[in-house]
């Protein structure tokens, strides 16, 4: 499970959105449901992803963040030595919900379906 300690420590401050964005963008792409969110390609590319916060709410136990993730995907070729297909990145976008427990800073990231 992810721990977003810096983010939860900055909750209810003007810096929260910037801290959360920075902390999430430093995660490995494999820690987010990006592969499941692919629409135009078959694998998540290596280009760093970017996050945009759409909305934030909270209750007594958790902070909930609705966010958009911009990232790159690739369409894999056959990997043959004579395969002329270049590895070409395709733009991808998905929306996620990040739920951060206020007492433990543990976070769960879930892909939101259209």
pLDDT at 112: 97
Q: pTM of the prediction?
A: 0.89
First and final CA of the chain: distance in angstroms? 25
Q: Is 19 left (phi over 0), alpha (psi -120 to 50) or beta?
A: alpha
Q: What is the pLDDT of residue 87?
A: 72
Q: What is the CATH number of the domain that holds 38?
A: 3.10.450
Distance CA 52, CA 14 (A): 16
Q: What angle do CA 58, 110, 5 make, to 5 degrees?
A: 55
Question: How many separate domains does the chain show?
Answer: 1
**pLDDT, tens only, 71-84:** 999 987 656 666 66
Mean pLDDT for 10-18 is 98
Q: Is the pLDDT assigned to residue 45 strictly greater than 90?
A: yes
| Residue 88 pLDDT grade (very low, low, confident, very high; cuts 50, 70, 90) | confident
**Mean pLDDT computed over 39-53:** 95
Evaluate if residue 58 carries a pLDDT over 70: yes
> How do strand 89-101 and strand 62-74 relate by DSSP bridges?
antiparallel
**Residue 49, pLDDT above cutoff 80:** yes
Decide: helix, strand or coil at residue 99: strand
The pLDDT, as a whole number, for residue 81 is: 63
- Structural domain for 49, as ranges: 2-112
Closest CA to 24 of 84, 83, 100, 91: 100
């Amino acid at each position: 499970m992810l721990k977003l300690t810096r983010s939860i420590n900055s909750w209810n401050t003007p810096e929260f959105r910037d801290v959360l964005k920075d902390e999430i963008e430093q995660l490995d792409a494999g820690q987010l449901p990006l592969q499941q969110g692919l629409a135009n390609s078959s694998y998540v590319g290596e280009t760093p992803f970017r996050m945009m916060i759409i909305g934030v709410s909270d209750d007594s136990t958790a902070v909930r963040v609705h966010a958009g993730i911009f990232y790159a995907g690739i369409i894999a070729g056959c990997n043959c030595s004579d395969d002329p297909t270049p590895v070409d990145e395709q733009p991808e976008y998905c929306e996620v919900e990040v739920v951060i427990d206020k007492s433990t800073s543990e976070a769960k990231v879930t892909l939101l379906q259209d």
